[in-house]
Structure 1
Amino acid sequence: MIEIVDVLVVDDERINIRLIEGILKDQDINLVSASSGFEALKYLPDHDFAFALLDVMMPGMDGFELAERLRQSETSRDIPIIFITAISKEQKHVFRGYELGAVDYLFKPVEPEVLRGKANIFAELHRHKRSLVETTKRLEVTVKELEESKAALLESEQRYRMVADYNYDWESWIDPDGKLLYISPACERISGYDRASFFDDSELMQRIVHRDDLSRWMLFMTDDTVGDDESLDFRINDVNAKVKWLSLVKHSIYADDGKPLGIRFSMRDITSRKRMEGLLKHSALHDTLTGLPNRVLFLDRLSRAAGRSSLSGELFAVLFINLDRFQAVNDNYGHTVGDKLMVHIGVKLQQIVRSIDTVARFGGDEFGILIEEISRKTEIRALVKKIHESFKESVVVDGIIFTISACIGYEIASDSNIESEEIVHNAQVAMKKAKASGKNRIVPYTKSMREGIINILAVENDLKRGLEAREFEAYYQPIVNLADGSLYGFETLARWRHPERGMVSPGEFIPVAEETGLIVKLGSQILEKACVVMNRWRNKYPIARELTMAVNISAKQFDESSLASNVESILRESGLPPECLKLEITETVVMLDALKSVNQLKLLKNLGILLSIDDFGTGYSSMSYLQKFPTDQLKIDLSFVQRMESSPENIEIIRAIVNMAHSLRLRVVAEGIETERQRDLLYSLQCDYGQGYLYSRPLPEDKAEKFVRDSE
């Protein structure tokens, strides 16, 4: 019968202790848990612990101080210590842990397989140590035999530290001269090569590193300025030529007298994580339905084309294509047929243009085409005509014959100084001119079309007047818990009740407000209204005290240095507790300048409010940046939700987003839920909350208050 051994677990968060208990419940181990260092010290006299799992960051007495106290006691100084920490925030403390006698580190989120492996090894070594101690006590031997027994005990102690290298990650140790001293068995699982191969062939590791990463890897390995808290992500080719991603961290090892003993390398297989990030990156630059480049990638390629044009003197052109009456297809035949037709059109456009040209989908029924390296305008006009005439060909989808026409606006450019957005805008203005003239038209951009700018100025002046008159209202769309349908909170949306025109579409005034900077004042007014209303509801309805009010922050608002102080002032004047307010910033905005965004988000977080990354999946946030952002929630962009029922790929994208968010302890909200099927799919993917027309459209204040009242 296997002897049960005691293991000490210290963590101030009970949920972490329960997690470890669940992982080790069948391991012949008795877990003794403590929620603080002071409580842990009380258990020492009554237990012979095989090892201790200590959380680093704890109030009162942190993990490092507890480790020092354990080392000071005669009965506990030999207990092996494994620190549990979050690598993104506490890596700099790793070396300090080893100085205090730690045998290893576990990084959050704890991987069950790794923890069980370490626990079994240390438990078995403890049983072996106990056996040696008991044997020593029983035997009446000579002084020589007692000395041999002490040596065996010492050897057992030394084995603890060697076992620390025998874990789930690929560990290796080289001496100061570069000679390989140790390599863990994990190298066989990850690379496919056995340990002997690395000892027999000193250049094997260098040969299996991916050639595109070799120079970076060699610099990292040989650069003495690379600190112990730095890491390198690189690729290898395993024994079967399969590419794998590894994350490498190195630690310098020194003797007690300061003499260098070599360097220890830890390599973790991050292939799955890289695959997930690649999927998110692709979705951020490509249309989820057609797979074509989206507007972001199109603008990037356009900018590069303009640069090449300035050197070569050749022309380039942008086409803006809008399909005529495409909404009728969706209305009469459903979105599934409409989506298939849209994919077919995208493929056809790609077949017409050259390989150096770019076809993109801007969303809805709009496409963009970038034509490059053209010497004469007549060639561009001929290609535009060819594209336009291609729409005359009938298309068969699910046995239905469609004849689709389109309006095309385009601009021919050779000036590299013009902004990419302006070129696209000009082509769009020309397309709208074609649309206004009827269906199936081609219109080139002309300077006379700048009259549209005058309209923008008119809207801007009207906006200024409306802001002064406080004509803008806050509407509230409910957000519900997908598990039980209970009310979780609201998202606040701006609406304009014009004294002459009635309700003005946000699509008309929001772009102008953003372009002119008036969005800052508009956003501030909406934030004030939302905070005042939410606090009033809290005072009237008990259920409202558990709700959150989400308010969108625009790019220009987020760029304001005074944003945090303005939010603090609004909270103070409205009386709303900070934890009831949630600010939503789009992923694209926070990634424009990620380092600056971290500082701005920290200032906002210090107010005690909640933060959410909105429209997640439409930009590209790496795992490392998401860990640095002090956010509480991700909101999945509605484009992914709306394609769930017809696209398995969108389901996998949402699954990846939810899993990644939960691994970072973030909640997930899905927007744009319109059907019960979408709701059920999101719930099955463990999405936390949702909003959309299935539950409610955005509501004026009185109807939103009724929604709160009816939810009690």
Structure 2
Amino acid sequence: MINILKNQSVRRKLVIIALITTGVSLLMSNLAFISLEYYLARQDVQKKLAILGDVIATRSATALTFNDSALLQSNLATLQADSSVIRGCIYSDPNTLAAEYRGEGMLPCPKQLHPLQSRQQSNFSQFFPILLNDTPIGTLYIEIGHADLMDRIRQFLIFSVMILAAAVMLSLLLASRLQSMVARPMRDLSNTLRNIMLRKDYSIRAGKDSNDELGDLVDLFNSLLRTIEEENASLKTSKERFHKLTALSPVGIFQLDQNQQLQYVNQRWRDIHGVQSNLPGLQEWFARIHADDLPDVRQAWNRLTSDQESIVIELRLQRRDQSHVWIQLMASALHDRNGELQGYLGVISDISELKAAQLQMETLAFYDPLTGLANRRLFRNRLEKAVKTVMRSGTSMALMFLDMDQFKRVNDTLGHDAGDSLLKEVASRLNNTVRENDTVSRIGGDEFTILLTDVHQTQDVLVVAEKLLLAMAKPIRIKGQDIVTTVSIGITLTPDDSTDANTLMKNADLAMYRAKEMGRNNFQFFSEDMNHSILEHLSLEKEIGEAIAREHFSLVFQPKISLTDYHVTGVETLIRWQHPEKGMITPDRFIPVAEETGQIFEIGSWVLEQSCRQMSSLIRSKVLPEDAKVAVNLSARQFTDPYLLQRIRSVLEITKIRPQCLELEITESTLMEDVESAIQIMQEIKKTGVAIAIDDFGTGYSSLSYIKRFPIDVLKVDRSFVTDIPDDENDMAITAAVIAMAHKLSLTVVAEGVETQQQLQFLRQNACDEGQGYLFSRPLSLGQLHQFLSESGSTFRADKISEL
């Protein structure tokens, strides 16, 4: 029944329920009344039976005593007055029938009383004793039929059915009226909802006809519509804002569904890909990726789609016009509030210009423009990597240091053009003599180095050295003259001689000078008898310890000047060692030793604390502005010190200097030794509020993709690039490119070694932020710094340099 009602309309449900309820109720009531009527009728019959029995039994006592059959029969004849009486029987004793009465068509009384007492009676019947002086003398039996009772019940049943039919009709009428009152508002509500869904118009409202529960339902429905309308309007506004923002965005924006199908791209995305219609599918997009980049892209894409990990990757993409574009792709997974994957959202940036600038910078920074060989920076990087490979794989390698004999005489007699031609030819012969996987570099005017990797035995190195001498001995024709040039070669082996890049360079240099001493045009292997410098190293280590204990170290401060308005932005702290016997020992002599021995930690802590104390004092005394910074150099060993953060926090607390007034300078090569670890250390330093600067930028071998990941504030252009401005166009190009790149990354640029007005003019023209060098001030003691700042105030006096 319930399943049938489920598929009916509310209107029909109301009618059916009303009819069923009314019918069942009336039926149960009629059954109850019929049962009651039947019960009352039986009571009436039994009362009538009792009265008849008592009267006849009393009258028949005397007649039975005298055996008056006529009187007995007369007494029973009175039963004829009641048509419901079937028969009456009088017995004088159990076996003697004295008189009887029977209705028409009824069975006669049995001759004996026993059969009446033993059989099951279907009619109403009762036995009455006939008494005389309270003594039983006989028995009276009267039996009444059911016909009258059934007629009475039948009449009542007909009446009840008529009442039931009338009630059902009335219930049907009321139910029809009721369903109209209930179903019509619900139908109106349903029509309103259907209209809203059809027209997508949430401003439509349902009408309210009553203040009952249906009225409350209409109010709630309209309230829900109002909420949906407001959210829909807000969503529409947000969508319009999103489309406007993405349309104006300088980056390409795209969205994918769960199946990695494009759902949305902005115009910039189309421009970068060179498409306006027929957006590419995922497989077509992968097919356009440069083959060298495809494995990394697929791996990153799998991390995105399988692990829902955010990705950042650079790749080359072929446009539909067959041109290639460098892009940076960043993408993340989209989830709903339940964490279910909804798709992917990402952005792409055209970094072609940045990559071109990077390539240009790397070419300028790491290759010699004259010979095309690797320069000192690139060679040093490859040497350090080769040493690590040797340590890891257990192989050997050789480092050769070559110096041209009598090169200065060629320059002086034939001119610099002839010298340049000679250098090019020498570079070509060196390259043609060694293997492709060996590295040849020009590290100075007439100095070259060769890195021979994967050396199996010393004999192999000797053979290469002899080939080099033979190649150089062949005449070179320059300006119509045959010039014979020779080279002196120093050779050191690793791991036999050392596994430290600096030591290897020193060893090869020592061996080369031994070759010079041996008459030039030969090669010498490094040996222990050349190791006088090592003894000096040990002596220096001991003297450093004494200098720490006796406080022989001192600090000097070199002002940093804003190149915009010449105000003093801060100072860089430099350490000095005044040896009581040897005089001034420069940091480049004792710092490497201190780093090797671990003494740098004690020296560095002292420098950091003293620098912050002096800076705090200068700021409190108003000699320097509150935003001035003191820059302190961190060596490679200090940077990897596990207690570095603890030392920094301790110094900040002790000296009461604001973290924003401290700037830590870290060399580029230090950061590149372990990029991921360096980033983590710098991020922890940044949390203290201390600024970070990359020192000597351009002298290492860092990638722009790493530079933009470093959490740094300042980029310092190494003095080696500034020194030859304006004479060296390569250095000018590199410096300008570094400044432009740093500004793109929102970094402050500081130029070191500014010594001439021409250098200052070039730096200002290229919007360099700050500078330091002898043009402004040499490094000053604390007292000299006070005097300098007192004379110039917080702004460097314009009359100290000529106006540009």
Q: TM-score, normalised by structure 1?
A: 0.66
Could you say which structure has the greater relative contact order, defined with CA pairs below 8 angstroms and 6 or more residues apart?
1
Q: 1:299 aligns with which of 370, 379, 383?
A: 383
**Corresponding residue for 1:274?**
355
Residue 434 to residue 511, structure 1, CA distance change in 2 (3 Å): farther
Whether contact under 8 Å (1:228, 1:249) holds in the other structure is: no
Partner Cα separation in structure 1 for residue 439 and residue 526 of structure 2: 20
**Corresponding residue for 2:277?**
195
Q: 2:721 aligns with which of 618, 633, 640?
A: 640
Amino acid at match of 2:290: H
Amino acid at match of 1:213: D
Q: 2:287 aligns with which of 197, 201, 207?
A: 207
Residue 394 to residue 570, structure 1, CA distance change in 2 (3 Å): farther
* 1:430 is the counterpart of 2:511: yes
**Corresponding residue for 1:692?**
773
Whether contact under 8 Å (2:260, 2:282) holds in the other structure is: no
Partner Cα separation in structure 2 for residue 202 and residue 592 of structure 1: 38
Amino acid at match of 1:632: D
Shift of 1:410: 0.7
**Corresponding residue for 1:601?**
682
* 1:567 is the counterpart of 2:648: yes
Shift of 1:399: 12
Amino acid at match of 2:386: L
Whether contact under 8 Å (1:286, 1:297) holds in the other structure is: no
Partner Cα separation in structure 1 for residue 701 and residue 493 of structure 2: 31
**Corresponding residue for 1:616?**
697
Residue 645 to residue 387, structure 1, CA distance change in 2 (3 Å): farther
CA RMSD of aligned residues (A): 4.5
* More divergent stretch after superposition (366-375 vs 329-338): 329-338
**Corresponding residue for 1:186?**
268
Partner Cα separation in structure 2 for residue 679 and residue 173 of structure 1: 49
Shift of 1:692: 2.3
Residue 365 to residue 690, structure 1, CA distance change in 2 (3 Å): farther
Partner Cα separation in structure 2 for residue 225 and residue 411 of structure 1: 51
Whether contact under 8 Å (1:197, 1:204) holds in the other structure is: no
Partner Cα separation in structure 2 for residue 235 and residue 259 of structure 1: 32
Pairing 1:98-177 to 2, within 5 Å after superposition: 160=240, 166=247, 168-177=250-259
Structure 2 unaligned segments of length 5 or more: list them: 1-202, 204-228, 794-804
Amino acid at match of 1:208: R
The number of equivalent residue pairs is 560
Shift of 1:374: 6.7
**Corresponding residue for 2:588?**
507
Partner Cα separation in structure 1 for residue 481 and residue 752 of structure 2: 32
Residue 327 to residue 683, structure 1, CA distance change in 2 (3 Å): farther
Q: Quick check: which has more Rg, 1 or 2?
A: 2
> 2:511 aligns to what SS in structure 1?
helix
Q: 1:551 aligns with which of 626, 629, 632?
A: 632
> 1:695 aligns to what SS in structure 2?
coil
Whether contact under 8 Å (2:326, 2:352) holds in the other structure is: yes
Partner Cα separation in structure 1 for residue 758 and residue 781 of structure 2: 28
Partner Cα separation in structure 2 for residue 255 and residue 566 of structure 1: 45
Amino acid at match of 2:666: I
Shift of 1:671: 0.9
Whether contact under 8 Å (2:313, 2:330) holds in the other structure is: yes
**Corresponding residue for 1:319?**
400
Pairing 1:296-375 to 2, within 5 Å after superposition: 296-300=380-384, 302-303=386-387, 306=390, 316-322=397-403, 346-347=427-428, 349-362=430-443, 366-372=447-453
Pairing 1:10-25 to 2, within 5 Å after superposition: none
Structure 1 unaligned segments of length 5 or more: list them: 1-132, 134-149
Shift of 1:497: 1.0
Deviations 1:139-162 (A, max 9, x none): xxxxxxxxxxx9998997596255
Amino acid at match of 1:610: A
Whether contact under 8 Å (1:288, 1:650) holds in the other structure is: no
Shift of 1:171: 4.0
Whether contact under 8 Å (1:288, 1:640) holds in the other structure is: no
Pairing 1:418-457 to 2, within 5 Å after superposition: 423-434=504-515, 442-457=523-538
> 1:497 aligns to what SS in structure 2?
strand
Partner Cα separation in structure 2 for residue 398 and residue 486 of structure 1: 54
Residue 581 to residue 435, structure 1, CA distance change in 2 (3 Å): farther
> 1:298 aligns to what SS in structure 2?
helix
Q: TM-score, normalised by structure 2?
A: 0.59
Partner Cα separation in structure 2 for residue 609 and residue 457 of structure 1: 36
Amino acid at match of 1:189: D
Whether contact under 8 Å (1:477, 1:699) holds in the other structure is: yes
Partner Cα separation in structure 2 for residue 578 and residue 308 of structure 1: 41
> 1:409 aligns to what SS in structure 2?
strand
Whether contact under 8 Å (1:171, 1:184) holds in the other structure is: yes
Residue 177 to residue 656, structure 1, CA distance change in 2 (3 Å): same
Pairing 1:486-501 to 2, within 5 Å after superposition: 486-501=567-582
Partner Cα separation in structure 2 for residue 205 and residue 406 of structure 1: 55
Deviations 1:169-211 (A, max 9, x none): 444444444554444443442222332263xx77432321222
**Corresponding residue for 1:144?**
none
Deviations 1:449-468 (A, max 9, x none): 34432221111112211221
Shift of 1:602: 4.0
